[in-house]
Structure formats: structure tokens, C-alpha cells
Amino acid sequence: MKTDKMIVSLWIIVLSMYSVSSEETMCAASDKLPSTVRRGKRLNGFLIEAIEHISIMVCGRECWYEQNCFSFNFNVLTGRCELNRYSGDSKTLQSTNSDSDLFSDIIDWSELPQNDPCYYETCDDYDKCIKGTCHKHDCGPFHYSNYNYLYQNGTVIGSVAVASYSGECMVNRCMERGFWERRHQELNCDHPDIANIEAVKNFKSNEG
């Protein structure tokens, strides 16, 4: 029993050291970023796609791959990368009061190296270059006249958007062919956590 406890304790110490080391490495990497990267800033409301647990260098590369990506948010501590549809300025950027939050317009970021498979590829709007080939990836912003936007977790394939009209909720999903598919469902539009409603998460596609 004592041996088991000692092993568990040693693992906790190792994991703690790894966590601290990883955090220090990410912070050190952020200190070497271009001067155009803005600390304590982020752009909200124009999300294309969120990618978890990657480095800021990979985040910038993912934005280059995405044809409609013009900027990105990045959190140094979590490794969360958010690709944005628009660039940011003094009017649209929001302050977070945290040096862990970084923002960059893609035009200010290093271009892809020439040995990257996507360097010579020019994809169409709403496409993404993956390993040198363009793929349909993005449905574009969800807009419906007279509908009240409630929730959206991005615009890439698999993303969900929820909107309401006259108290009725409409659930939409970005489909593989690059369009929003919709259907009416009995949802409470006033639900405080509509993003986690099972009817939204388990939306079934009618696309063959």
C-alpha cells in the first residue's frame, strides 16, 4: 500500500513539473513574437474555427491554410487558437487585461515556408488547404433575415448555429457540401445554456 502511494506521489510531482515546464515554454515562446502581435487583446464575434492545444506558430499556419482567415486569437496558457473571419482594429478589438491573450492579423504574420505543401496552392473562398489540396471547409457566416441570432460555435463543417423567430428556435448545421442545413425543433429560446441542449448536439443531418 505504501509503495502504491509513493508511486502516485511521484507521478503527481512529475506531472506538476511537466505542467510548469510546458507553461514556461509557451510563455517564453510568446516573448519572441513579432512586435505586431497585440497582448491582452482579442477579436470576438467573427469565429471561423477554434482549435485546441496547439502552439501559436501552428495557429498562424492554420490561419494561412484557411482561405477566409484574416486574423487569429491565441491563449498562451491553454493553447486555444481561434481563427477569425475579419482583421481587427482599435474599434473591434476587446481588452482582456491578460498578457496570456494574444491577437494578430494574418497579414502581419510570417508567410508559409516554400517547402510547405500549401505554399503554391490558391484555394477558393470557404476552402482550406490541407496537405497541398483544397477542401470545402467553411459554410460562411450564418445569416437569416428576420431571425434573431442566439448561438454559434463557428462556421466550418460540423458547426452549429441556433436562431429564433417569433419564439421558435431554428437549429442549423454546416454541412460537408458547404451550406447551412436547417430544421425546426422544439427548443426553449430562453434557455440559459442553449449551447449544451441535447437537441442541438445530437442534430441529425438529412444530407445523404
Q: Cα dihedral angle (46, 51, 56, 58), rounded to 10 degrees? A: -110
What is the set of domains in the chain, with CATH numbers? 38-136 (3.50.4.10), 148-201 (no CATH)
Residue 112 and residue 202: Cα distance in Å, rounded? 37
pTM for the full predicted model: 0.75
78 grid coordinates = 491553454
- Closest-CA residue to 82 (of 66, 59, 98, 61): 59
Q: What string of pLDDT tens digits covers the 208 residues of the chain?
A: 434 434 333 333 333 343 334 444 445 445 567 788 999 999 998 999 999 999 999 999 999 999 999 999 999 999 999 999 999 988 899 999 999 999 999 999 888 999 999 999 999 999 999 999 999 999 998 877 777 777 888 999 988 888 887 777 778 889 988 898 876 566 666 665 665 555 555 554 444 3
C-beta separation of 101 from 26 below 8 A: no
C-beta separation of 171 from 199 below 8 A: yes
